[in-house]
Amino acid sequence: MRITTLLLALFIGCFVATAGEVSLVIDHRMQGLPLRSGETYAMNGGTWFFKPRFVKYYIAEMTVIHDGGTRTALADVYVLVDALGQSRYVVGTYDVTSVEALEFHIGVDKPRNHLDPTLYPPEHPLALKNPTMHWGWAAGYRFIAVEGSSGTTSNVVATDVQLHAVGNELYRKITMPVSSTVRAGGIDINLTAEYGALFTQLDVGFGLIFHGYGEETIILSNNMSTRVFSSPTTSVAHETTVTTTVWPNPARTMITMRSDLGAVRTAQLIDAFGAVAALPVSGDTQTTWDLSGYSSGTYTLLLTSPSGTTTHVPVALVR
């Protein structure tokens, strides 16, 4: 009986030891440099300059793909990312030892987007905040809020920039490979966020103020979901060098890529386990690939130009 009890205790101890604190760790960047309040950043090759004062956004409906394809949904977990103030966000305790990919949404899911924020305790991400991230019951939360000042020279950066994405239509899903780091008591899911990419296709050099749902915040939300995030282990080309668009994403079978890399020299599709498959390339800046032969899951599209410049785009296949 004593031996049985001891074995049971050891079994329970091993089981408990496998569960640990899981954190989302985001390396906040602007034009490849650490994002800091009060700093002035040269944008688009120095054609305009930006000084951030406020960069916040919501993450919701997260699913961790780990340990050989196991999917763990993080139920009722919301993160209010403060890119100028915090890099680590504890998302709970789970039995995870190695993370291959992450699914998450930018914004607040529709059922929670229209609930009363005063019902949450003050420390909850969906509680009322100062400055506010909530527009009222009808509109819901500001999914993304970016504020700062811009100018055409580094010495005069004084024109106001305010972009607030509001509306259920701007809720965006991201599925991407990620790296993870084991630490004492848990594991970190590592992301790099390049916020300079938020302004791709937006004319911000002379200031821009737009709150709500419209062309500007549609572009902002699309940039957030397709251009901003990457794994720290992957080479990333920033806004000053490369603009790459892949659609549809998620996709069922066919994807189309358009890139200012020029004539793409190589294209590779890398799955969540690191397996690499070469894709056919042409001399065009726009190429369509049939991926019907690949399984559903998360991939990275790695592109190389004749000059050696590389960029990557997270791609999800869903069937």
229 and 281, same domain (yes or no): no
Determine, yes or no, domain membership for 261: yes
- Kindly state the helix (H) or strand (E) to which residue 188 belongs, with its residue range: strand 186-194
Tell me which of 186 and 235 has the higher pLDDT.
Answer: 186
Determine, yes or no, domain membership for 220: yes
206 and 277, same domain (yes or no): no
222 and 77, same domain (yes or no): yes
Q: What is the mean pLDDT of residues 30-47?
A: 91
- Secondary structure class of 169 (helix, strand, coil): helix
Q: pTM of this prediction?
A: 0.71
Residue type, 241: T
pLDDT at 243: 60
Q: Which of 102-116, 199-213, 242-256 has the lowest mean pLDDT?
A: 242-256
| Neighbouring residues of 2: CB distance < 8 A, sequence distance ≥ 6 | none
- Residue 162 corresponds to which tokens in the numbers above? 């305010």
Residue 7 has pLDDT above 50, yes or no: no
pLDDT at 3: 45
Tell me which of 262 and 160 has the higher pLDDT.
Answer: 160
Report the domain count for the chain.
Answer: 2
Print the domain residue range for 267: 241-319
Residue 225 has pLDDT above 70, yes or no: yes
User: Which residue in 107, 219, 204 sits closest to 162, CA to CA?
Assistant: 204
Determine, yes or no, domain membership for 7: no
135 and 256, same domain (yes or no): no
Chain segment 53-90, per-residue pLDDT in tens: 999 999 999 999 998 889 999 999 999 999 999 999 99
- Domain boundary (193, 217, 233) is at 233
Percent of the chain having pLDDT more than 90? Answer: 57
Mean pLDDT estimate for the chain: 86
158 and 246, same domain (yes or no): no
Residue 14 has pLDDT above 80, yes or no: no
Q: What is the mean pLDDT of residues 42-56?
A: 93
- Domain boundary (188, 206, 233) is at 233
Q: What whole-number distance in Å separates Cα of residue 26 and Cα of residue 193? A: 7
pLDDT at 122: 94
Determine, yes or no, domain membership for 15: no
Determine, yes or no, domain membership for 204: yes
225 and 287, same domain (yes or no): no
- Secondary structure class of 122 (helix, strand, coil): coil
Grade residue 4 by pLDDT with cuts at 50, 70 and 90: very low
102 and 209, same domain (yes or no): yes
CATH number (domain holding residue 312): 2.60.40.1930
Grade residue 308 by pLDDT with cuts at 50, 70 and 90: low
248 and 206, same domain (yes or no): no
Residue 113 has pLDDT above 70, yes or no: yes
Phi then psi for residue 224, to 5 deg, are -60, -40
225 and 276, same domain (yes or no): no
Chain segment 236-285, per-residue pLDDT in tens: 333 334 467 788 877 889 998 887 656 788 888 887 666 778 999 887 77
288 and 152, same domain (yes or no): no
Q: What whole-number distance in Å separates Cα of residue 105 and Cα of residue 62? A: 7
Residue 127 has pLDDT above 70, yes or no: yes
196 and 57, same domain (yes or no): yes
180 and 289, same domain (yes or no): no
Determine, yes or no, domain membership for 202: yes
Q: What whole-number distance in Å separates Cα of residue 134 and Cα of residue 132? A: 5
